[in-house]
Amino acid sequence: MKPPPFAYTRPTTVDEACSLLAEHGEEAKLLAGGQSLMATLNMRLSAPELLIDINRIDELTGISLDDGVLRIGAMTRHVEVESSPLVAEHTPLIAQAMPHIAHAAIRNRGTFGGSIAFADPAAELPACAVALGASFVLRSSDGTRTIAADDFFHGLYDTELSANEMLMAIEIPVIAPSYRSAFMELARRHGDYAMVGIVVHARLADNAVGDAMLVYFAAGERPVVARAAAAAIDGKVPSEETFEAAAAALDQDLDPPADLNADPATRLHLARVLTRRALAQWAA
10 Å CB burial of residue 26 (0-12, 13-18, 19+) is exposed
The CATH number for 230's domain is 3.30.390.50
pLDDT value, residue 260 = 83
Q: Is residue 149 located within the same domain as residue 97? A: yes
pLDDT value, residue 167 = 98
Contact 20, 50 (CB under 8 A): yes
Q: Is residue 207 located within the same domain as residue 221? A: yes
CB neighbours of residue 58 within 10 Å: 11
Q: What is the pLDDT of residues 67-94, one digit of tens each?
A: 999 999 999 999 999 999 999 999 999 9
- CB neighbours of 85 closer than 8 A, spacing ≥ 6? none
The whole-chain average pLDDT of the chain stands at 95
In this model, does residue 2 exceed pLDDT 90?
A: no
The CATH number for 36's domain is 3.30.43.10
pLDDT value, residue 38 = 87
In this model, does residue 66 exceed pLDDT 90?
A: yes
Q: Is residue 90 located within the same domain as residue 111? A: yes
Residue 25 CA to residue 19 CA, distance in Å, equals 10
Quick one: angle between helices 240-248 and 264-283, nearest 10? 150
Residue 41 CA to residue 249 CA, distance in Å, equals 41
Q: How confident is the model at residue 152 (pLDDT cuts 50, 70, 90)?
A: very high
Confidence (pTM): 0.95
Q: Nearest to residue 84, comparing CAs of 67, 61, 105, 55?
A: 61
Q: Is residue 231 located within the same domain as residue 257? A: yes
Q: Is residue 157 located within the same domain as residue 197? A: no
The CATH number for 145's domain is 3.30.465.10
CB neighbours of residue 24 within 10 Å: 18
Q: Is residue 166 located within the same domain as residue 133? A: yes
In a domain? residue 120: yes
In a domain? residue 274: yes
Q: Is residue 98 located within the same domain as residue 111? A: yes
Q: What is the pLDDT of residues 180-206, one digit of tens each?
A: 999 999 998 888 889 999 999 999 999
Give the domain extent around 48. 7-53
- CB neighbours of 83 closer than 8 A, spacing ≥ 6? none
Q: Work out how many domains the chain is built from and give that number.
A: 3
pLDDT value, residue 82 = 98
Strand blocks (E) in the chain: 7-9, 28-31, 50-53, 63-66, 69-73, 135-140, 143-148, 153-155, 158-159, 166-173, 179-186, 196-205, 208-217, 224-225
pLDDT value, residue 46 = 87
Region 121-138: mean pLDDT is: 97
Q: Is residue 63 located within the same domain as residue 131? A: yes
Q: What is the pLDDT of residues 237-270, one digit of tens each?
A: 999 999 999 999 999 999 999 988 889 999 999 9
Residue 81 CA to residue 182 CA, distance in Å, equals 17
- CB neighbours of 284 closer than 8 A, spacing ≥ 6? none
Q: What is the pLDDT of residues 27-54, one digit of tens each?
A: 999 999 988 888 898 888 889 999 999 9
Domain boundary among the residues 148, 173, 198 is at: 173
In this model, does residue 9 exceed pLDDT 80?
A: yes
In this model, does residue 4 exceed pLDDT 90?
A: no
Q: Is residue 154 located within the same domain as residue 229? A: no
In a domain? residue 272: yes
Residue 175 CA to residue 191 CA, distance in Å, equals 27
In a domain? residue 2: no
Residue 133 CA to residue 223 CA, distance in Å, equals 13
Q: Is residue 166 located within the same domain as residue 195? A: no
In a domain? residue 262: yes
Q: Which residues pair with 167 in a beta bridge?
A: 138
Q: Is residue 169 located within the same domain as residue 198? A: no
Residue 53 CA to residue 40 CA, distance in Å, equals 16
In a domain? residue 32: yes
Q: Is residue 17 located within the same domain as residue 64? A: no
Helix, strand, coil % over all residues of the chain, rounded to 5: 40, 25, 35
In a domain? residue 1: no
In this model, does residue 133 exceed pLDDT 80?
A: yes
